[in-house]
Every structure is written in C-alpha cells, then in structure tokens.
Chain A
Amino acid sequence: MSRAWPVNDVDPEAPVGVNARKVLAVRIAELYSYEPAVAQPTWSHELHDMRIAAKRLRYTLELFETQFGETGKQQIDRIKQVQEALGVLHDRDVEIEMVGAELSAAMADEADRVRADLASAEPQEMAAIATSAMRPPPDDVRRGLISLLVAAHADRQAAYDAFTSLWSTLGEDGMRRDLVTLSMAQRPERLEADTSA
C-alpha cells in the first residue's frame, strides 16, 4: 500500500479552511495520479492503491465537511462509488490469489500422492494408478477449486468493467472539475455573486 502524499505547507495557525483546501488539492492529485491504471485491467496493485487514494480523498472531504458544504457532500457520494467499485475489484483479486494458492497446494498434494503410489506399486498396478490420476473422481477437491477460480475471474472482469464504466461516467459529469473547484480558495467577488444570486 502506498503512503499518503504529504501535505507540506500546512500552517497550524491558519484558519481550518485554508489548510483544508491545501489538503484536498493534494488528495485530488494523489487520486488522479493513478488514472493511467484505469485502462490497465491487470494493474491490480495500482488499482488497489487508487482505491486507498479514493478513501483518503473521501475521508478528507468528510473531515472538513463543514468547510466544503453541499458540494462537498456530492463529491463524497461520487468518491464513495469509486471506492466501492475498486473495493469489489480488490476483493476478487484477493480471492483469485487465495483460491489459486489452494488449487496449487491441492495439485501438489495430488502429485505427491501419485508419486508415492507409483513408488510403492507393483508393476501390474501402475496402469490403474495412471488412469485414476488422469481421470479424477467427480468429487475431487480440485473440481470445486477450479470452479471457484473460474467464477472469481469472471466476477473480476465484471467488476473491472463496472469500475471503468463508472469512472468514465463520473469523468463526463465533471467530477475532477468539481473537486478542483472545491479545493480552490473562494474569492470575495464570487462570494458576493453567490450572495446576490
């Protein structure tokens, strides 16, 4: 997991809003630094780091909720969707790794068993051992594990598609623009315009 990008120019004595915007700007940049990974379905580590960056951005928006108002809340909803979509993708990656490791172990167990059987077998028994090894019984543990692995890969593909589709939609809706606007200091003239509107 990557470390949070540092926010170097925080001023402890400045008003909260000033620092909140600085932190937000860094967290936005941190999230979008992973954008190249969006088009790379096999970049599991980077996509996981992107999820963590999305969490950091969301928690920053929540932490300074009073500073960012309603617009901030809308951004929290959007980032939460990103984080959740990447979360499903990560869960499938973890699952593929765990199931894959167990399948490898089951395969190794079976190989050990065949080797041991052949080593101690009489010549006339060897053909039967070979046949049995090549045609495992219907309830062999590998069957269930292979089924799980197939399902996990299919689900991962679906999760990836759902994420890229969401990312594209949020991009078209101007999520990045809205976030960056939120991180910019509000100018007095804009405040006046807002008040008179």
Chain B
Amino acid sequence: MTDATARVAAAIDIGSNSIKMSLGRLSGDGRLEEFGQVVDVVRLGQGVERTGALNPERVDAAIATLKRFAGEARAAGATEIAAVATEATRAARNGAEFLERVRSETGIAVRVVSGEEEAALTFRGLETDTELTGHVVVADIGGGSTEFVVANDGVVLGSRSTPLGSGRLTERFVTTDPPTPEALAQAQAEAARVIERLARSLKLPRGESVRLIVVGGTGEYLARMTAQERSLDRRVVQNVLGKMAVLNAAELAEIIDAPEARARVLPAGVAIVAAVASRVLANRIETARSGIRSGLLLEMLTRPVSAEKPAKTRPARVRRAAGATPAGDAPEPAFREAMRGLIHERWQEVWKVMPAAIEGTSIEGVHDVRVASRRLRAAMDVAAPAFPRSWYKPLHLSAKEITSALGEVRDRDVILERLQEQRTAAPPADWPGIDRLIHRIDDERIVARSAMEAYLAGLMRGHLRDEVERRFAPRDPANARHPEDEGKE
C-alpha cells in the first residue's frame, strides 16, 4: 500500500464571494492535517442574481486567482488538486464556459457540486475537527446559497440547499453603505421566509439543546466581531446586526481584518445567521471554518493511489461476459449511460403529462402522471448504484413524491366514477345514501386536488426540471463521460 501520509493534496472551493484553497495531508494516525490556507475575495457571483450570468471581469479575476493557487499548490508538493464550484457557477448560464476556460488555462478540472453534495462534503469536513454529538443543525452560509444539514449524534438525517446567500441578499436589499436598518430587516425577513419554507421539507429541530453550527466566512467574521471565538450567544447576533447599520464597509473590513469587498456582504450574512438562530432557538451558536475543503481533502487522501476510484466503494465489477452480446451486433452500451438516457426519457414523459393533470379536465390526467412517475421510479430504483448518491437521491425522492402526491386524488377519482355509475343503476330509495357518500368523497377530493395542484405547479416552476436536465440530458456524444460525473469516480 502506498504511504498516504506522504501525499499532499490541494482542495479549492470556488464560491460566490471567495475562492479558497487548503493544502492537506494525512497524519500517521489517519487524521487530516490542513495547512497553507489562502483566500481571494473575487466576488465571482457578483451580478448573477441580476443578470443570470457571470461577469467577464470577475471570470478573468477568478482565473488569475486559480492560476496562482495551482502554482502555489504544486510548489508545495501537491500531487492532486481538486476544485469544486458552487452556487454562482451552478446558477449562471455561462457557468460551463467558465469551467472550460479554467480547465484549458489552469489545468484544473472543476467539479460543479449540487447543493446537497456541497452539504455532504461540508459535513464530512466538519467532522474532522468538531464533535458532532446531539441534535445538530449546520448552516454553511455562502455568497450564493446556504446549505443546511440536520444530524443527530453524527448521523445525517437530511440536507437541503437554499438560495440564500450573503452576496445574493446584498444585491437584492443592500443599496447603501452602510446598509440601512430597514434593508437589514428586509434581508432577515427574506431569510426567515426561505428557512420557514425549508422547515417544511427538512425537519429542523428546535429548542435550546439544539446545536447550531454556522460554517463559512460569515461565522468566522462574526466571531471576530464579538471576540467570542467559536461560541456565540444568540442575542449577541441580533445586536451585531444592529451595529452593521452604522459601520461602513471600510470600517467593518478593518474590524474583521478582511478585504472591503468581503465586508460589504457580511451584514446580509449576519442577517441569515439571525434568521436561522431565531428559527432553531438554539441558545448558543457555534462557528466553524468552511468544511467543504476538508471534505474534499479527505475524499482525495483516502482514495487508494493505485486505483482511480475513491475509497467509497462501488459494487464489484462484472466484466462484459462473452456471449452476452449477440454475434455481429454493436457492443451493448454500458449500464450507466444507458440508464441516464432512459431516466431522462422517463422524466420527459412525466413533464409532458403534468399540465393535463393540473388542468383537471379529465381524470385520466392524474392517472397518466401516476403511471409516468411509476415508470420513472422503476428506472431510478434500479439505476441508483450507478450514480452519486448525493445528487441522485433527492431526484429519486422527488420521483416517489410525485406518485404519492397524486394518490389521494386518484383513489377518489376512481371511486367517484364508480359511484356515479352505481347511482344510475340503483333504485331511487338508495340515492340519498349514495349521494351522501359522493358528497363526502367529492369534498375530500377538492382538498386533495388543491394540494396536488399546488405541488405540481411548484414542480413545474421550480429547479427540479433544470436539475434533471443537468444530470440526465445527453451531452457531448464524443465524450463517453458525462460532465456531471467528473470527479465522482
């Protein structure tokens, strides 16, 4: 076995506010040792909220930073460099173009991680230097998104990514320097609204015993402002937010010892912390350095050198058996790529029939979505081992939810249709009883249908469709590997 302790790796996190790099190696007892951390406040996500695209100037700055980081990493002996890009690149329409430039100009293949994957990496990294006992809520506040992880005694119970970010909220609400108290209140209210919506799908624990851990620069700078190091009183956060309205970015930058560009987005970040803290009701707020780079370093350094696969196991290989392909035919496609195409087709079938179910002119509309979603699930059930769990599982769950969300309506549609037929054939003396049942089921159906319509309309509007396209749409036939799988194997 290769001596893993001799290996040095570099992990780069391309966020909406900053680009950060950590170098790391494994100590003799297998613990991660990080050193050589560097940060550049590039504000890559600047303007994405407004224009939907990365600003060319910010892209140039990011590439210059990445070139420098790559040189420094190699000079420090790093044999492997992994980089992840998060919300700004995920959200921007020219994100792919940016990644291609990074690859060609710096030699770094950047992996764009989903919010859920980002949360999983963060949690893994956090475990390296934080005891995660008890009920824990981790909030990784970035410039463009905040990832939430809920865990109990180190076991992750769920994670979600939300479109809350210090940079994003700054662009929406903060127009003055220093920000007005009203702007900060609006930012906090918006954060509270998003968190409340999140609490419906991710069971956020609540109470004084819950540990709220804020990860990322916002937490670090907040601790610097209060000199309370890694544990803050909940009430202090609200006080700090109040102070933000009297400090301009230059003054704040001096206090937190950070670039002015970073200080400019800190008030909105603190507004997010205040909103999370008042939802979770934790007495104290712990802060931790961003865990995503630690997670990445662990991923690289625990991967056996001789193999291209990470230590995280995949099922044993079954080599293509002789005779499995009929003589003279082209070779069969590999399962993963074939399933990607099939799953994409199945999702298209679901999207195609969904408007008719929402419209509700025929009961067959709901039935068609149920059938299409079951067919999709059949495909996703069997393909689960072929894709990274971090982004696959949420999509798989969405497919299941679609079937379930329509079940109540479908059951009532079927029985109402049958009751109408029975009423027609029944003697008039039976009608009052049948009518009573019809009315009750019809009332239930109205309630179920209203919930179903809201759910389906939300799906049509939301990010699910984009995510499905990103993960499963066929791309670049010349290249057997799908861009979304880069770095996953």
CB distance from A146 to the nearest CB of B (A): 8
Q: Looking across the interface, which residue of chain B has its beta carbon closest to that of A142?
A: B433
Interface pair A143/B430, CB less than 8 Å apart: yes
Interface pair B324/A15, CB less than 8 Å apart: yes
Given A11-B317, A63-B382, A143-B429, residue A102 in contact with residue B331 (CB < 8 A) = no
Interface pair B431/A144, CB less than 8 Å apart: yes
Q: Which residues of A contact B (CB under 8 A)?
A: 4, 7-19, 23, 55-56, 59-60, 62-63, 91, 94-95, 98-99, 102, 106, 138-148, 151, 185-188, 191, 195
Given A63-B342, A144-B429, residue A9 in contact with residue B315 (CB < 8 A) = yes
Given A55-B374, A191-B323, residue A14 in contact with residue B382 (CB < 8 A) = no
The reply on B381 being an interface residue by CB < 8 A is: yes
CB-CB < 8 A to B478: which residues of A? none
Interface pair B324/A9, CB less than 8 Å apart: no
Interface pair B331/A15, CB less than 8 Å apart: yes
Interface pair B327/A10, CB less than 8 Å apart: no
Interface pair B386/A147, CB less than 8 Å apart: no
CB-CB < 8 A to A98: which residues of B? 415, 437, 441
- List 10 A-B residue pairs with CB atoms under 8 Å apart, sorted by A's residue number: A12-B386, A15-B331, A18-B321, A59-B374, A60-B382, A94-B411, A102-B436, A102-B440, A146-B433, A148-B430
Interface pair A148/B433, CB less than 8 Å apart: yes
Q: How far is the CA of A115 from the CA of B140 in the complex (A)?
A: 62
The 8 A CB mask of B314-338 against A (1 = contact, 0 = none) is 1111111111111100011111101
Q: How far is the CA of A55 from the CA of B371 in the complex (A)?
A: 10
Interface pair A13/B426, CB less than 8 Å apart: no
CB-CB < 8 A to A106: which residues of B? 433, 436
Interface pair B315/A62, CB less than 8 Å apart: no
Given A95-B415, A145-B437, residue A11 in contact with residue B315 (CB < 8 A) = yes
Interface pair B426/A147, CB less than 8 Å apart: yes
Given A106-B433, A186-B324, residue A16 in contact with residue B375 (CB < 8 A) = no
CB distance from A136 to the nearest CB of B (A): 11
CB distance from B431 to the nearest CB of A (A): 6
CB-CB < 8 A to A186: which residues of B? 323-324
The reply on B432 being an interface residue by CB < 8 A is: yes
- Of the residues A4, A16, A139, contact of B338 by C-beta under 8 Å: A16
CB-CB < 8 A to A14: which residues of B? 317-320, 334-335
Given A13-B334, A16-B338, A148-B437, residue A140 in contact with residue B432 (CB < 8 A) = yes
Given A98-B437, A99-B437, residue A147 in contact with residue B430 (CB < 8 A) = yes
The reply on B463 being an interface residue by CB < 8 A is: no
- Of the residues B315, B318, B433, B441, contact of A18 by C-beta under 8 Å: B318
CB-CB < 8 A to A11: which residues of B? 315-318, 335
The reply on B6 being an interface residue by CB < 8 A is: no
CB-CB < 8 A to B383: which residues of A? 10
CB distance from B353 to the nearest CB of A (A): 16
CB-CB < 8 A to B375: which residues of A? 59, 62-63
CB distance from B306 to the nearest CB of A (A): 18
CB distance from B486 to the nearest CB of A (A): 15
Q: How far is the CA of A7 from the CA of B382 in the complex (A)?
A: 7
Q: Label chain B's interface by main secondary structure.
A: helix
Given A11-B317, A11-B318, A59-B375, residue A144 in contact with residue B433 (CB < 8 A) = yes
Q: How far is the CA of A19 from the CA of B440 in the complex (A)?
A: 48
Question: What 4 pairs between A and B have smallest CB-CB spacing?
Answer: A144-B433, A59-B378, A144-B430, A12-B386
Q: How far is the CA of A141 from the CA of B433 in the complex (A)?
A: 4
Q: Which residues of B contact A (CB under 8 A)?
A: 314-327, 331-336, 338-339, 342, 374-375, 378-379, 381-383, 385-387, 411, 414-415, 418-419, 422, 426, 428-437, 440-441
Q: How far is the CA of A106 from the CA of B381 in the complex (A)?
A: 44
Given A8-B315, A191-B327, residue A185 in contact with residue B321 (CB < 8 A) = yes
- Of the residues A12, A62, A147, A185, contact of B335 by C-beta under 8 Å: A12
Interface pair A17/B325, CB less than 8 Å apart: yes
Q: Looking across the interface, which residue of chain A has its beta carbon closest to that of B326?
A: A191
Interface pair A15/B334, CB less than 8 Å apart: yes
Given A98-B441, A142-B433, residue A185 in contact with residue B334 (CB < 8 A) = no
CB-CB < 8 A to B336: which residues of A? 12-13
Q: Looking across the interface, which residue of chain A has its beta carbon closest to that of B430?
A: A144
Q: How far is the CA of A147 from the CA of B332 in the complex (A)?
A: 58
Q: How far is the CA of A138 from the CA of B433 in the complex (A)?
A: 11
CB-CB < 8 A to B324: which residues of A? 15, 17-18, 185-186
CB distance from B144 to the nearest CB of A (A): 31
CB distance from B336 to the nearest CB of A (A): 4
Interface pair A151/B374, CB less than 8 Å apart: no
Q: Looking across the interface, which residue of chain B has its beta carbon closest to that of A52?
A: B374
- Of the residues A7, A16, A188, contact of B334 by C-beta under 8 Å: A16
Interface pair B322/A10, CB less than 8 Å apart: no
CB distance from B349 to the nearest CB of A (A): 12
Interface pair B322/A188, CB less than 8 Å apart: yes
Q: How far is the CA of A144 from the CA of B429 in the complex (A)?
A: 7
Q: How far is the CA of A10 from the CA of B434 in the complex (A)?
A: 51
Given pairs A143-B432, A148-B430, 9 additional interface contacts (CB within 8 A):
A16-B332, A16-B339, A59-B378, A60-B382, A63-B379, A139-B428, A145-B436, A148-B422, A195-B327
Q: How far is the CA of A139 from the CA of B321 in the complex (A)?
A: 72
Q: Looking across the interface, which residue of chain B has its beta carbon closest to that of A138?
A: B429
Residue from B321, B327, B381 whose CB has the most chain A CB atoms within 10 Å: B381
